[in-house]
Amino acid sequence: MGNYPGITVGQHRGRMRLPDGGRARVLDSPGTYSLSARSADEQVAVAAIAGLPPHPRPDLVVVVVDATQLVRNLYLVLQVIEQHVPVVVALNMTDMLAGSGQEVDAAELARALGVPVAPIVARSGHGMEELRAVIAAALAHPEGARASWRFVPEEPRLVADIDAVAALVPEEWWHGEPVRRRALALWSLLSLDEDDELTDVPRALRDAVGARRAAAHAALRSIEGEVVAGRYRWIEEQAPRFLKQVREVTTFSERIDRVLLNPLFGFVLFVALMTLLFQALFLGADPLISLIEDGFAWLGARSAALLPEGLLADFVVNGLIGGVGAFVVFLPQILLLFLFLGILEDCGYMARMAVVMDRLMKAVGLHGRAFVPMLSGFACAVPAIMATRTMERNRDRLLTMMIIPLMTCSARLPVYGLLIAAVYPPGASQPFAQGTLLVCMYVFGAGTALAAASVLGRTVFKGPRIPLLIELPPYRLPHWPTILRTLFEQCRDFVQKAGTIILLCSVAMWLLLNFPRDAAAEAGRRARRSALESALAAAPDEARRADLRARLEEASAQAASERARDSYAGRLGRLLEPLIAPLGFDWRIGIGIVGSFAAREMFVATMGVVYGAGEEADEHTPALRERLQDARRADGRAVFTPLVCLALLVFFALACQCMSTLAVVYRETRSWRWPALLFLYTALLAWSAGLLVYQGGRLLGLA
């Protein structure tokens, strides 16, 4: 994973096998460059390392450092050592030292720090057994991994500041160890201020830190500057012992960056890469989509043959199999998207994308760190909103939260895939039409997000912008085990979601679409169907049988439409139709919009139920996208014309049709004010944009 703020915002737990056969519990905290924390997410790492309540004190802290950026990484190592816990340094990326023109003496580094150092190459697994042995030894003899180094201030006033704050550090934090008490006093002086979002900090401690910082400011002092300079002074004095710059080199990554980070060529290459990526989603996924469609059609046909004709068979075939199948069919496209993004992340290009896009975000008042949550929004808005925790200012966090739902998340991909395939079927004559339209939707979502940020940042969320500071990792070949493991986890989460929420929503939509039932009308439909089936069985030739099969299919479609129109869902759709009719949408699309509020993907599942109700799933049943192409209004006009599909694409690109997103915004802000603002402004924006597209297209003669 990339090691810049916003990538990892949670903890992961596991177990490690030790050489003696034992096992150690491992807690991986969010990545950080320093223990000085001002955001709630950074506090998670601090609490885990320092053992602040309710976290237990760790038996050992393994600090993974980048060997090619050793001086900067050692600042964090010194902070951890100050917490008086056993420490092991995992010196990672040692295979890239030669390319950087540096040499690191691991043994001399261990002597300088006073803790064990284990050189490793995590991507290849080199040195991992040696690291396990070092960890086992440190757990068995922790005093050998507990360094005596401590920060010693040269400024007498800083000593007085530390002593005054240390007196108010809660005893349950430092467990009777004066060394830890002093280290936590230093942490408090560097972390607590009027803008931090740290919780469970005693008021007396906050007041003491505020008083000391105010006094230092009045005396033209910087407490943070004095502490940071003191620690780096020690690092720079010791660095010649273990770090040598053998030669000055221009790395391969630096040469490539001259092109990829160019303000003009870098952006053009970025857009071209995204276009190829999204076109590949269609070209690569379509064979798998067809295979899944055939599989669900076969499953539906077998289920219909085994079950007695009636409500139960209709529920199983169209409610369960049809609803979930219409959604799962887009799993190949979603997995390909995750695969491509994983490759871009692992090869080092993702951080460059942040730099390229920062030039745009700077103009609209967004913080550079907002790019990472926004990029995460291409997968899902829920973790993307959680990733805003790493942003220091509440203003930047709120502004980013308000625009993340405009990014094209993977939940929109099934909707886009369905509508684009309805307009441009696979194999259509227009080359690259599908991929071009899809990348346009992604660019449209990102562009609208930036425009919304510009407006909101100048009205609701006024404030200055803080510049972007980001580390660019070296370019390297993707590590396939990591990518495939991540892909498996995302696939598992996707399937679990489809098997729970989507299944329940699909069943609920089937119930709404099939009740209430008019017994007389149902009897008439069954009689018409029976008559056609009898005629088909007695047909004398193939031409007559083909005609009867077409009439039977037409009768089934008409029955499904009538049943949906008279159902509870149909009534709700017709209730909404006056509101959405100016956008070109009918009551059936209205049902899909309502159902998609549980999850955007539910639009596809709902359309599967709406256009599959009453259908007998067999080898003659067309795919859902073909049914959309054939759908007609009462006057015979097509429902899903290219203009209607485009208006619907724009509507879904802008509307916050996701209860989970609104719920996580409430959880992060602890207020219904911001979720309400998010829902209302995106709904109004989506309706207005859809109206402009449809009515504007009609004026241009495109209807």
Model confidence at 200: pLDDT above 90: no
Distance between CA atoms of 444 and 357, rounded to whole angstroms?
A: 15
The winner for highest mean pLDDT among 462-466, 531-535, 541-545, 583-587 is 583-587
Neighbours of 455 (CB within 10 A): 14
In which band, very low, low, confident or very high, does the pLDDT at 238 lie, cut at 50, 70 and 90? very high
564, two tokens: 């949906």
- The secondary structure of 394-460 as a DSSP string is HHHHHHHHHHGGGS--TTHHHHHHHHHHHHS-TT-SSTTHHHHHHHHHHHHHHHHHHHHHHHHHHTT
In which band, very low, low, confident or very high, does the pLDDT at 161 lie, cut at 50, 70 and 90? very high
651, two tokens: 């509507």
Instruction: Judge if 371 and 426 occupy the same domain.
Output: yes
Instruction: Judge if 309 and 445 occupy the same domain.
Output: yes
Q: Assess contact for 228 and 218: CB atoms under 8 A.
A: no
What per-residue confidence (pLDDT) applies to 3?
A: 44
Model confidence at 621: pLDDT above 60: no
Model confidence at 396: pLDDT above 90: no
What per-residue confidence (pLDDT) applies to 469?
A: 64
Rounded mean pLDDT, 235-258? 82
Instruction: Judge if 135 and 160 occupy the same domain.
Output: no
In which band, very low, low, confident or very high, does the pLDDT at 344 lie, cut at 50, 70 and 90? confident
Instruction: Judge if 274 and 388 occupy the same domain.
Output: yes
211, two tokens: 């008083």
Contacts 24+ apart (CB under 8 A), 520-526: 521/562, 521/566, 525/555, 525/559, 525/562, 525/614
Range name among 4-13, 296-305, 661-670 with the lowest pLDDT average:
4-13
In terms of residue numbers, what domain contains 522? 518-566
Q: Which residue has the higher pLDDT, 645 or 274?
A: 645
For the chain, how many structural domains are there in total?
4
Instruction: Judge if 381 and 426 occupy the same domain.
Output: yes
Instruction: Judge if 413 and 287 occupy the same domain.
Output: yes
Q: Which residue has the higher pLDDT, 387 or 533?
A: 533
Model confidence at 367: pLDDT above 80: no
Classify residue 616: in a domain, yes or no.
no
Q: 427, 458, 489: which is the final residue of a domain?
A: 458
Rounded mean pLDDT, 159-164? 94
Classify residue 549: in a domain, yes or no.
yes
- The secondary structure of 628-662 as a DSSP string is HHH-B-TTS-BSS-HHHHHHHHHHHHHS---HHHH
Q: Which residue has the higher pLDDT, 172 or 194?
A: 172
Classify residue 332: in a domain, yes or no.
yes
Classify residue 698: in a domain, yes or no.
no
β-strand partners of 24:
16
Rounded mean pLDDT, 457-486? 77
Distance between CA atoms of 233 and 484, rounded to whole angstroms?
A: 43
What per-residue confidence (pLDDT) applies to 4?
A: 44
Rounded mean pLDDT, 528-543? 84
Instruction: Judge if 137 and 161 occupy the same domain.
Output: no
Classify residue 300: in a domain, yes or no.
yes
Range name among 64-73, 173-182, 413-422 with the lowest pLDDT average:
413-422
Domain containing residue 89: CATH number: 3.40.50.300
Model confidence at 69: pLDDT above 90: no
User: Nearest to residue 189, comparing CAs of 82, 41, 316, 325?
Assistant: 82
- How buried is residue 158: exposed, middle or buried, by Cβ count under 10 Å (0-12/13-18/19+)? buried
What per-residue confidence (pLDDT) applies to 199?
A: 78
Model confidence at 615: pLDDT above 50: no
Count of alpha carbons within 13 Å of 407, Cβ hemisphere only? 25
Rounded mean pLDDT, 538-548? 85
Model confidence at 248: pLDDT above 50: yes
Instruction: Judge if 54 and 187 occupy the same domain.
Output: no
Q: Omega before 516 cis (within 30°)?
A: yes
What per-residue confidence (pLDDT) applies to 2?
A: 45
What per-residue confidence (pLDDT) applies to 135?
A: 96
Model confidence at 546: pLDDT above 80: yes
Instruction: Judge if 550 and 440 occupy the same domain.
Output: no
Q: 145, 169, 188: which is the final residue of a domain?
A: 145
Sign of CA dihedral 65, 71, 73, 76: positive
Distance between CA atoms of 236 and 623, rounded to whole angstroms?
A: 67
Which residues make Cβ contacts (< 8 Å) with residue 498, sequence separation at least 6?
Answer: 324, 327, 328, 601
In which band, very low, low, confident or very high, does the pLDDT at 493 lie, cut at 50, 70 and 90? low
Instruction: Judge if 371 and 446 occupy the same domain.
Output: yes
Average pLDDT, the chain: 82
In which band, very low, low, confident or very high, does the pLDDT at 314 lie, cut at 50, 70 and 90? confident
Rounded mean pLDDT, 442-462? 88
What per-residue confidence (pLDDT) applies to 628?
A: 79
Classify residue 439: in a domain, yes or no.
yes
Distance between CA atoms of 600 and 26, rounded to whole angstroms?
A: 37
In which band, very low, low, confident or very high, does the pLDDT at 1 lie, cut at 50, 70 and 90? very low
What per-residue confidence (pLDDT) applies to 567?
A: 83
Q: 240, 273, 296: which is the final residue of a domain?
A: 240
In which band, very low, low, confident or very high, does the pLDDT at 54 lie, cut at 50, 70 and 90? confident
β-strand partners of 239:
none
What per-residue confidence (pLDDT) applies to 599?
A: 67
384, two tokens: 């993307």
Instruction: Judge if 453 and 547 occupy the same domain.
Output: no
In which band, very low, low, confident or very high, does the pLDDT at 39 lie, cut at 50, 70 and 90? low
Rounded mean pLDDT, 282-302? 81
Model confidence at 249: pLDDT above 70: no
What per-residue confidence (pLDDT) applies to 616?
A: 32
Distance between CA atoms of 597 and 39, rounded to whole angstroms?
A: 31
Q: Mind listing the pLDDT tens digit for each residue in 13-25?
A: 889 999 988 899 9
Classify residue 318: in a domain, yes or no.
yes
Instruction: Judge if 98 and 29 occupy the same domain.
Output: yes
Q: Which residue has the higher pLDDT, 319 or 392?
A: 319
In which band, very low, low, confident or very high, does the pLDDT at 105 lie, cut at 50, 70 and 90? very high
Question: What pairing do the DSSP bridges indicate for beta strands 102-104 and 243-245?
Answer: antiparallel
In which band, very low, low, confident or very high, does the pLDDT at 243 lie, cut at 50, 70 and 90? very high
What per-residue confidence (pLDDT) applies to 203?
A: 92
What per-residue confidence (pLDDT) applies to 116?
A: 96
Classify residue 604: in a domain, yes or no.
no
